[in-house]
Amino acid sequence: MWWAHSIYLNQDEIELLAKTGTAVAHCPSSNMRLGSGICAVGDMLARGVRVGLGVDGSASNDSGHMLNEARTAVLLQRAKYGAEAFPIEQGLEMATLGGAAVLGRDEIGSLEPGKAADFIGVNMNSLSLAGGAVHDPLAALLLCHIAGIDLSVINGRVIVLDGKLLTIDLDALIARHNQLAAGFSSKDSQRNDQPIKEVKE
């Protein structure tokens, strides 16, 4: 069993999560966007509650950027507990092993023999990472701006290479997405008695 968000729990309820083995999917960007509050992740982890990261949905998070979600989680917990209370490693662990633990999956979450070969690569020789990556590559990965990844391998299959998605025609997908979005906001789409019409040039 796991719950999403879990921002309104008191200490007794956090203890109950720990005792019952109930996990939490922490969605910091969504919580901030909606002004819902700050999840007491530090208290949960200290009591042995399994916590992973989620990006929620497009209604309350305008990107599915997991690295940014890990960054936001770290910064939000530091805002609550102090700068020394939530290390970078903890944010990355929530995004990897933490998520696997929440889902009860032992074949993902870390690079080990027998597990799924899921990993990403980021070019450290970039303007956004210049300087920071020299001193602490791990911290730079979360604290600097990562616009996109350069490599993604999922279960041994290369999905992103040199920053380009290999599995779909991204330009065509974006064009189609924008076409549908324009249709949703058209006058016809606002009428309940008519189907949404596609916009044609």
Short-list 70, 23, 26, CA closest to 48: 23
pLDDT digits (tens, 9 = 90+) for 4-35: 999 999 999 999 999 999 999 999 999 999 99
- What pLDDT is attached to residue 190? 57
- Three-state DSSP at 158 gives strand
Short-list 78, 61, 81, 80, CA closest to 4: 61
Residue 11 lies in a domain: yes
pTM value is 0.82
- 196 pLDDT above the threshold of 70: no
How far apart, in Å, do the first and last CA atoms of the chain sit? 49
pLDDT digits (tens, 9 = 90+) for 51-98: 999 988 877 887 888 999 999 999 999 998 898 888 999 999 999 999
Q: Residue 14's CB: how many other CB atoms inside 10 A?
A: 19
Domain range for 95: 1-109
Residue 125 lies in a domain: no
Residue 18 lies in a domain: yes
- For the chain, the domain total comes to 1
Please name every residue paired with 161 in a beta bridge, in sequence order, or none if there are none: 151, 164
State both tokens at 125.
């020789």
Residue 57 sits in a domain of what CATH number? 3.20.20.140
- What pLDDT is attached to residue 201? 43
Helices (H), the chain: 11-20, 28-34, 41-46, 66-81, 88-93, 99-103, 132-135, 137-143, 170-184, 187-190
pLDDT digits (tens, 9 = 90+) for 103-153: 999 999 999 999 999 999 999 888 888 887 778 988 999 999 888 899 999
